[in-house]
A and B are shown apart, each in its own frame.
Chain A
Amino acid sequence: MKQDPMLSLLSATAQGDKAAFAKLYQASSKQLYAVSLKMLKRKELAEEALQEAYVRIWHNASQYRAGKGTVLTWMISIARYRALDILRYHSVRKEEPLTDNEVGVQTSSEPMTETQQGLLEKCMGALDVQQRQAIHLAYFNGMSHHEVTAHLDLPLGTIKSWIRRGLLSLQRCLKL
């Protein structure tokens, strides 16, 4: 199996190695920033989420376990929680409406080497288009049920059930 390239940087970070932490930031910040910017839209908020995420990564580096996915997935998870928190505090929503192109995220451009990614892609692909779209809006744009409802102009009950049933199908497909 291929060694996770960020693992050695993270384990050195856990030992307090600041240079390794700087390298880890170099290697991962573009991806984490992409995730938080997509959710928060505003540069200053996305930067705030990014800062908070790396402060936590520095402190919690030793808590990473192999079972938590790749180091990058684990870090994205931390960044997304920070971004969700910030979304909660700033009920200010992005002003510009999202286009439908934005919703359909390109999944085939990057080669999938990790098994989780491959499996997730397969399972997401097996969902109804509507379910997948609703889950994408919630995941990438950090939208609540209400916001997805407003965006797709459909009743709240419909959206809730698409997301719930979509996640349930994913769960079965992923065998969680």
Chain B
Amino acid sequence: MNYLNPDLYNALAAQYVLGTLRGPARRRFSRLIMQHSAISEAVNSWELYLNSLGEQLPDVAPDNDVWRKIEQRLGFIQAQKIASQVEPAPTSKFEPSNVVRIPEKKPRLWQALAGLASAAAVVLAVLLVQMQPAPISEVTQIAVINNQQADLLWSIEITDEEIAVRATKALQAKQGVDYELWIVPEDGNAPVSLGLLPKDGASTLVKPLVFEQINIAALAVSLEPLGGSPNGSPTEVLFTGKLVIL
């Protein structure tokens, strides 16, 4: 088929934006969008017109929780922070016993030392709280992503609610690209994006419902332009890893 015929690619662009172009034809067309600027312009024009339809729907307010999850997903706030805010108890346990026992007439030096000691206790308590894993839910599955030399690049822990990912020092992330994590369904369906992997340190990904609903053959990592896959399919698969149930 000659995709560079304007009548054809315009018609396909319309069905792509409308959503009636599906399956392998949709995947093929999304590759063509990346390859040919005329096709990508046709898609843009249809997006511009058809999606103004969406503005006609009456507003529906999402739950407040959704914004918190977006902030969490983008790393603006961390799950652990929320957990430690909920449990400020340990600090108050140390403080009073240190402070109360100091006789009032002791020299200032003692007071200063006591102050330091209680400050240290507070620091210690905070550290202890931070070192404990967030008591949200248990890890039920794990996966590791290795490169071809078997270096561990990312470790992935899956709980009932979320996916915790950590990049290791072995990862030499390239500039100007992102790494995206995918579910590879066992039934041969298209991969499902789980979100962007951290290039250093740790991050938390939202666990989509589909995670529990399908059989997963493997997890895959793809190389993507900044911001992730432009079309919902992995651009270049770099690595895969098996899920292990604990």
Interface of A with B (CB < 8 Å)?
18, 22, 25, 29-31, 33-35, 37-38, 44-48, 50-52, 54-56, 58-60, 63, 67-70, 72-74, 76-77, 79-82, 84-85, 87-90, 105-107, 109-110, 114, 116-117, 119-120, 124, 135, 138-140, 142-145, 163-164, 167-168, 170-171, 174, 176
Contact = CB atoms under 8 A, between A and B. Distances in A.
Contacts of A170: 14, 49
B8 to A, nearest CB: 12
Interface of B: 10-11, 14-15, 17-20, 22, 42, 44-63, 65-67, 69-70, 73-74, 76, 178, 189-190, 192-193, 195-196, 206, 208-210, 213-214, 226-228, 231-232
A174 B49 contact: yes
13 contacts: A30-B60, A31-B54, A33-B61, A34-B54, A45-B209, A47-B65, A51-B66, A51-B206, A67-B48, A68-B48, A80-B54, A109-B56, A170-B14
| Pairs of residues from A and B, 10 with the lowest C-beta to C-beta distance, nearest first | A59-B227, A30-B59, A69-B48, A76-B54, A167-B14, A34-B57, A33-B62, A34-B60, A117-B52, A35-B54
Contacts of B193: 52, 85
Q: Is the interface of B mostly helix, strand, loop or mixed?
A: mixed
A164 B193 CA distance: 30
Given A25-B70, A50-B66, A110 B47 contact: no
B40 to A, nearest CB: 11
A59 B226 contact: yes
